[in-house]
Amino acid sequence: MREFDGTPRTAAWIVTGPTSGIGYRAALDLAEHGTVVLVGRSPHKLKKVAAEINARPRGHAVTVTGDFSDLASVRRAAAEIVALDLPIAGLLNNAGVSPMGPAHTAQGWDLAFTTNHLGPFVFTEALVPHLPDGANVVFVCSAVEDPKRTSATLAGYRGGRYISAEAGLRGEWRPGGSRRPGMDAYATSKQCNLATVLEFARETPRLRFNAVEPGFNPGTGLGRDAGPVARLALRCVAAPLAPFITYWNTPKRAARMITHVLTDSSDATGVYYDEKGRPMPGSDQVRDPAFDARVVRETRTLLADIAGRPA
């Protein structure tokens, strides 16, 4: 981690997953608004992005290593950020994975559910007591959590399939989901992200919690687990077409929208924004406050149980 050198800035912005795709572009954009705290699992990649930002006349970035598939690593990263004692204005929970098939952490937990939901949940709860009133926390979500989203169902998704937090940890989803391995895990993790945002917004009105749907971005690293032919098609065929297709986007445009949401000076909270920055509804399930409260309650119970298990 690069220590804070005392360079005066008006604000600090935390970005997770800043070494590629949307997170990388957002980090560059946010560097125009203050110090950027880059949080990711690769120290080498983090240093490269930090060097790029620090080379700018107004750029200032610090790096914190944290692997969101490892909850202990997440807690250490949050503690390091608190120790920096920076004037945090906002947090962008962008880090995520979308495995093509069943994938697990070193502990045997579902990789997508742990990395996309539990990691950001732990990270955010660890930082909330240290965020000043009015700070904005933004989660990058996905409309694939909605089973009525036509573009998502055509791609093979069947919406979030949440049973319980404990079931998600084991990689178990409500029956009737996708035929493609990994899709239910990803959609359910994103369903939990959105439910978390909406419930946190109700619980903690002194802060702002918002969500964004960045659109389908074939130029991001989410498809890194695909085969070489699929990766080539995403990069060379799909990415150039993205600006011309409904619901598709580019990392640059998505980052610009996210930066606008994150730096917005209004008191908007509990809002879900689409790829153009317009408020949009989530699925019927996440629009039910009782469901959102259950996801947060069960996640907290699960995390407390995990913390008490023998190492």
- Report the CATH number at residue 131: 3.40.50.720
- What mean pLDDT value characterizes the chain? 89
Could you give the percent of the chain with pLDDT greater than 90? Answer: 80
pLDDT at residue 232 is higher than 50: no
Q: Is residue 200 part of a domain?
A: yes
pLDDT in tens, 114-123: 999 999 999 9
Q: Is residue 130 part of a domain?
A: yes
Q: Is residue 299 part of a domain?
A: yes
pLDDT at 220: 56
More confident residue, 309 or 296: 296
- Centroid of chain to Cα 11: 21
pLDDT at 308: 79
pLDDT at 236: 45
Distance CA 21, CA 19 (A): 7
pLDDT at 28: 98
Whether 24 and 92 have beta carbons less than 8 Å apart is answered as no
Confidence of residue 198 (pLDDT cuts 50, 70, 90): very high
Confidence of residue 246 (pLDDT cuts 50, 70, 90): low
DSSP 258-285: HHHHHH--S---S-EE-TTS-B----TT
Whether 127 and 141 have beta carbons less than 8 Å apart is answered as no
Q: Is residue 95 part of a domain?
A: yes
pLDDT at 278: 96
pLDDT at 14: 98
- Lowest average pLDDT, out of 145-149, 155-159, 245-249, 287-291, goes to 245-249
Q: Is residue 5 part of a domain?
A: no
- SS3 for 301? helix
pLDDT in tens, 72-93: 999 999 999 999 999 999 999 9
Could you give the percent of the chain with pLDDT greater than 70? Answer: 85
pLDDT at 249: 54
pLDDT at 7: 45
pLDDT at residue 207 is higher than 70: yes
Confidence of residue 19 (pLDDT cuts 50, 70, 90): very high
Predicted structure pTM score:
0.89
Contacts of 311 (CB under 8 A, 6+ apart): none
pLDDT at 155: 86
Q: Is residue 107 part of a domain?
A: yes
- Give the total number of structural domains in the chain: 1
Rounded average pLDDT over 136-147 = 97
Confidence of residue 228 (pLDDT cuts 50, 70, 90): low
More confident residue, 239 or 202: 202
- SS3 for 92? strand
Residue type, 266: S
Per-residue tokens: 258? 């996210």
What residues make up the domain containing 146?
12-308
pLDDT at residue 230 is higher than 50: no
Q: Is residue 197 part of a domain?
A: yes
Q: Is residue 251 part of a domain?
A: yes
Confidence of residue 242 (pLDDT cuts 50, 70, 90): very low
